[in-house]
Amino acid sequence: MPEICIFSPNRYSLYTTTVTALLIRRGIKIQTIYVRNLLNPKRFINEYRRDGSRLITKIWKKLVLREAGYQRVGDIRAFREEQGIKVTDLFEFKKDPGIPVIQCNDLNDPVVIEGLKILQPDLVIFTGGGLLRQEILSNSGHGVINCHMGVLPLYRGMDVVEWPILEGNPDKLGITVHFMDKGIDTGDILRIVKIPPLNGETIRSLRDRIEPIMCKTIVDTCIDFLDGKLTRKPQRIMDGKQYFKMHPTLMGITQGLAAKDNHDQ
Residue-wise pLDDT for 242-257, tens only, equals 999 999 999 999 998 8
Q: Tell me whether strands 29-36 and 123-126 are parallel, antiparallel or unpaired.
A: unpaired
**What is the rounded distance in angstroms from the CA atom of residue 44 to the CA atom of residue 206?**
27
Average pLDDT over residues 216-235: 97
Q: Over pLDDT 70: what percentage of the chain?
A: 85
Domain count, the chain: 1
Average pLDDT over residues 206-212: 96
Which residue range is the domain that position 160 belongs to? Answer: 3-264
Phi and psi torsions of 147, nearest 5°: -110, 115
CB atoms within 10 A of CB 46: 13
pLDDT at 263 > cutoff 90: no
Lowest average pLDDT, out of 36-50, 59-73, 211-225, 242-256, goes to: 59-73
Strand partners, 153: none
- Residue 57 sits in a domain whose CATH number is 3.40.50.170
Average pLDDT over residues 28-47: 81
pLDDT at 74 > cutoff 90: no
**Reported confidence tier of residue 73, pLDDT bands at 50, 70, 90:** confident
Strand partners, 148: 176
Average pLDDT over residues 106-134: 97
**Reported confidence tier of residue 261, pLDDT bands at 50, 70, 90:** low
Single pTM value for the model = 0.89
Is pLDDT larger for residue 243 or for residue 56? 243
Report the chain's mean pLDDT, rounded to a whole number: 91
